[in-house]
Amino acid sequence: MRKMDNEKQILERAKKGDKDAMAVIIEHNQKNVFALAYRMTGNREDALDIAQDTFIKAIHNVKKFRGDSKISTWLYSIAANVSRDHLRKHGRVDFVPLEETWIKSADDSPFKITEENEKRDLVRRGISTLPPKMREVFVLRYEENLPIAEIAEVLNRSQGTVKAQIFQATEKIRAFVQ
Amino acid sequence: MNKDKNIDDQIREFLAKDPVPELENWEVNILTQRVLARVEKRAPRRFFGIRPAWGIGVVAVAALLLLAIWIAPPQLPEQALMPEDLAVLIIDEEPEDMLYDAISGGELEVETAFAEIIDIDESEAEKIYYSYAEDEIDAAINLLSDEEVENILQYLDEAGYSGKEEVIS
């Protein structure tokens, strides 16, 4: 992976149409964009498509991006929008069945392993039942570990709204887990 | 409070045990190449200066529009807002560009554009929205009438869209 020494310089180069700079932006942000899309859809192929669309839209609009926020924040914002569009069109979140992703640990008892797997599956199912706007807040908070202020910036919502949505989402997940 | 903390920790713990699949290097390379190839394929969206062929196109469309206006009987206002009557090409590309950027940049949702700004009923808006593939949003925007573009500009202005000054000035 190429180095991204100075975000502002890379951005300026990308704005001038420098393909290397665009490639650097993609390479450095693909993991986060893919992760958000994957948690939103639960499907690897869909997440890859969303990541691709996100970067295409970003590159098309790079000249309009003023660089007030971090590139990653801007890309999260586009990815959340593309994911929401995708869910609207397809209206589903896919799940890999529990047995295919079974956690195995030699240290734990079979009972404990079963219990852990069931809880993990419940968390995943809980996430899938969240409405898209609440799910993206939840994923950005718990998966990407973004601070409230940055989530608010990414999703163009107030911090109060974000906090309320995190609370509601956590309550729903809690209801699933307990 | 402790209970909340526990749930918080539990959620993080379970998510950590259920990691997002890693992309292989070759997948990242393909993703990068595809994106750059799509960017290359897409023509510049400016009519003037960059691609003279667009200028000729605009003049031709303007001439056809003038002819159509001269020939066609005046429409009732209700009819002008119907989806099937949206096929009036706009000559000034700037509002179209701005709308495209607002939607693709995540600042404006397509349904909002159709349902609230264009002021057609929700079922029609949904029908139109789902009839367009995501990549064709700009094509859909091309079908807006001048009046609808005016409404959009006003909406974006009221909504405080950050790019409006560049376009309106």
Query: Which part of chain A has CATH 1.10.1740.10?
Result: 1-94
B7 closest CB neighbour out of A19, A31, A170:
A170
Residue with token string 């309550």: A171
Out of 1.10.645.10, 1.10.600.10, 1.10.10.10, 1.10.1200.10, the CATH code matching A96-178 is: 1.10.10.10
CB contact A78 to B (< 8 Å) = yes
For the cut 90, the answer to whether the pLDDT of residue A26 exceeds it is: yes
Q: Is A13 helix (H, G, I), strand (E, B) or coil?
A: helix
Residues of B in contact with A139 (CB under 8 A): none
Rounded CA-CA distance B157/B58 in Å is: 27
At B112-162, the pLDDT tens digits run: 666 555 555 556 555 555 554 444 445 555 556 666 666 666 655 665 544
Inter-chain CB proximity A123 and B32 less than 8 Å: no
- pTM beyond 0.80: the answer is no
Out of 3.30.450.20, 1.20.120.530, 1.10.1740.10, 3.40.50.300, the CATH code matching A1-94 is: 1.10.1740.10
B106 closest CB neighbour out of A19, A80, A142:
A80
Residues of A in contact with B20 (CB under 8 A): 34-35, 38-39, 143
Instruction: Label residues A88-118 b or e (16+ Cβ within 10 Å = b).
Output: eeeeebeeeeeeeeeeeeeeeeeeebeebbe
Residues of B in contact with A136 (CB under 8 A): none
CB contact A69 to B (< 8 Å) = no
Of A22-31, A68-77, B87-96, B123-132, where does mean pLDDT reach its minimum? B87-96
At B4-31, the pLDDT tens digits run: 556 677 777 777 777 788 888 888 888 8
For the beta carbon of residue A153, count every other beta carbon within 10 angstroms: 20
What is the model's pLDDT at position A53?
92
What is the pLDDT confidence band of residue A52, given thresholds at 50, 70 and 90? very high
The sign of the torsion formed by the CA atoms of A129, A130, A132, A137 equals negative
CB contact A142 to B (< 8 Å) = yes
At A137-172, the pLDDT tens digits run: 988 988 888 999 999 999 888 888 888 888 888 888
